[in-house]
Structure 1
Amino acid sequence: MLNRVFKWRGVVLAAALIGLAGAAFAQVEGGKPALAVCMSEDNAPLSMARKGQLSGFDVKMAEAVAQELGRPLRLVPFESELEQDANFAIEVNALLSAGVCDLVSGFPLLATDLGQPGRLKAKPPDYPGAKRPRDRADVTLGNVVASHPYQGMALQLVQREDAPRANGLGELRDQKIGAVAGTLEGTLIATYQGGALLPDMVSMGKLDDRWAALESGKVDAMLMPSTAWDVYRTRAAAPLRLRAGPPQSLGINVGWVALAGKPELIEAVNRVAAREAQLQQWAQDVGLQRLPPTEPAVARELSLAALLKP
């Protein structure tokens, strides 16, 4: 908690010393207002913040969107989960409604999170220049609209190389299966075929190092988001001692969102999202598995039925 407070104060101080002095230039350059794009600081390889700089697939898209609109680009990293009961969709809406950004990338396209919000007001999450959480005012939320999807979401079964190869959850019996409490992946493991994998399940906390657990042999297999595997396979210093099965689609896509009433922003994102060859190249550049969006573009709900099949 103390580290988080120190980190937050450092970001605010930097904004005070640098951002305030050049605010006018940051907002308007060459007579056109900057396009402010918010993206998660911890969503690699889509977006990630390191030493104050954002990088990743979404950054490359943002640069292309700004070029489409003929506007300079201003990237704004944000940190989700300001509160324990934080809702990502509401936090994104608050960022847009507060005028912190014009667009937000990396948004899971669920129908319940678009359009009219489920509450009237909310506080934006942490971002450079934000007031302290206790001093941060609630903002009235607006209606959120989405772009076309640009990436699908999937889970992958990751195993130790010396474990018997499994082609699905049904072939994991007698293997030590890691399950992180409070995650979709952990829920899938715990509920598979009415708890068939519970005798072999190893419960883990959200702060536990999943890769260390796999490499040390504490667990033999884990179900993970495909993006987590992307990050691991591109940064592993030692030869990989793990393998991953094919991605299994969650039936949810990722898109960009803006407040209703700004169709030019969404149209620009849609034009960039239609450049499949360029998307493929960007994915290769950042180590992202290119997962084409699935139908429907906006899912009505998350269905676990397909993932729980034998």
Structure 2
Amino acid sequence: MSRFLKPIRSGWACLPLVLSLCAAATAEPLKVCVSEDSPPQSSVRKGKATGLDVRLAQAIATAAGRELQIVPFETEFEKESTLAHEINALLSSGQCDLVSGFPLLKADLGPASRPSARVPDHPGAKRKRDRPYIPLGELVASAPYQANTLSVVQNVKQAPVNTLMDLKDRKTGAVTGTLAGTLISIYRQGVLRPNMVTLSQRENAWTALESGRVDSLLMPTSAYDAYKLQHTDTQWVLASFQRPIGLNLGFVTLATAPRQLLDVTNQVIAQTIQDGRMLMWAKQEGLSWSAPRAPDVSTGPTLASLTMD
């Protein structure tokens, strides 16, 4: 009798694995919305998706046992909507399950501040005026996977910059109306202001650097990374100095999404930071990655945090 039961028992023992493989094969693709033109964070050109966010999205999809479907979007700042509203509309309309690269601000999470919004540009979207208003849900965030920072850009032959005081005798440029410009203006009661060069929003900061109008630039690290992707032989490099601005990036989804989705996302973020894959992927994509800083979700940059040594 046991001779006949043995293969049957073996078959039943394999059943959970078979069912698991079948479930993975029939699971819906994990749809992740990423910014279409924010290299090296994320970029989709001629159907090819690249960037740190895409690498991370693939790892999450793999861990969840689902295929990955990247959905690129392009947002514009308008009076009638904000980034948070448009992201919410993408999720609430079912265009995606997760959205990457979301600034983790308390004010933008939780219940929406308005009842409805239109989705931003994405594949298959109707003309803006023809898009319906989508009822908005409640946004919840993953753990952060990256901190936003400001950096000093300088010539490779210039002396190191480890603190802002190292810029005291330099003509340092910053765009007006930005955190970088504010930081230079107020640092240590304006000690850097005499040599500061204020650039307008329309000016090309790289032209000012090339022409010698400024000796160095203070700007978002992401802006330098994007420039270097297009100018691989550039003489301009990032100095050692980096200033976190008190704002992390993470994924967002709806509060009504399955809890397992955020659990898997958070596990992948923690594992890839711990085992070094996050840093490795960032380097491979040309992104100057900085680890998330506490708190995970903030109220935004503060003057105290920006100006401290």
| Short-chain TM bin | 0.7 to 0.9
Residue identity in the other structure for 2:180? E
Unaligned stretches of 5+ in structure 2? Answer: 1-23
Q: Contact 2:163/2:241 (CA < 8 Å) preserved in 1?
A: no
Q: Contact 2:144/2:250 (CA < 8 Å) preserved in 1?
A: yes
Structure 2 residue 85 is matched with structure 1 residue 90: yes
Residue 55 of structure 1: how far off its partner (Å)? 0.7
1:96-140 deviations in Å (ceiling 9; x for gaps):
112211100011112121111222222221112111112222211
Q: Which of structures 1 and 2 has the bigger CA Rg?
A: 2
Q: Contact 2:30/2:68 (CA < 8 Å) preserved in 1?
A: yes
Q: Contact 1:40/1:48 (CA < 8 Å) preserved in 2?
A: yes
Q: Percent identity?
A: 45
Within 5 A, what are the aligned runs for 1:174-185?
174-185=169-180
Count of residues paired in the alignment: 282
Indicate the residue corresponding to 1:279 in structure 2.
278
Within 5 A, what are the aligned runs for 1:109-120?
109-120=104-115
Distance in structure 2 (CA, Å) of the matches to 1:247 and 1:88:
26
Q: Contact 1:163/1:220 (CA < 8 Å) preserved in 2?
A: no
* Higher mean displacement: 277-286 or 145-154: 277-286
TM-score (norm 2): 0.81
Residue identity in the other structure for 2:223? A
Q: Contact 2:60/2:268 (CA < 8 Å) preserved in 1?
A: yes
Match of 1:59 among 54, 59, 68: 54
Distance in structure 1 (CA, Å) of the matches to 2:32 and 2:203:
32
Indicate the residue corresponding to 2:39 in structure 1.
44
Q: Contact 1:109/1:299 (CA < 8 Å) preserved in 2?
A: yes
Distance in structure 1 (CA, Å) of the matches to 2:206 and 2:84:
29
Indicate the residue corresponding to 2:124 in structure 1.
129
* Higher mean displacement: 296-305 or 267-276: 296-305
Residue 295 of structure 1: how far off its partner (Å)? 1.5
Indicate the residue corresponding to 1:6 in structure 2.
none
Indicate the residue corresponding to 2:133 in structure 1.
138
TM-score (norm 1): 0.81
Task: Indicate how the Cα distance of structure 1 residues 172 and 84 shifts in structure 2: closer, same or farther if over 3 A, else same.
Answer: farther
Q: Could you say what the CA RMSD is over the residues aligned between the two structures, in angstroms?
A: 2.5
Match of 2:208 among 192, 204, 213: 213
Match of 2:96 among 101, 122, 143: 101
Unaligned stretches of 5+ in structure 1? Answer: 1-28
Within 5 A, what are the aligned runs for 1:287-302?
287-302=286-301
Residue identity in the other structure for 1:309? M
Within 5 A, what are the aligned runs for 1:214-253?
214-253=209-248
Indicate the residue corresponding to 2:21 in structure 1.
none
Task: Indicate how the Cα distance of structure 1 residues 156 and 98 shifts in structure 2: closer, same or farther if over 3 A, else same.
Answer: same
Task: Indicate how the Cα distance of structure 1 residues 159 and 117 shifts in structure 2: closer, same or farther if over 3 A, else same.
Answer: same
Residue 236 of structure 1: how far off its partner (Å)? 2.8
Q: Contact 2:32/2:97 (CA < 8 Å) preserved in 1?
A: yes
Aligned with 1:154: secondary structure? Answer: strand
Task: Indicate how the Cα distance of structure 1 residues 222 and 70 shifts in structure 2: closer, same or farther if over 3 A, else same.
Answer: same
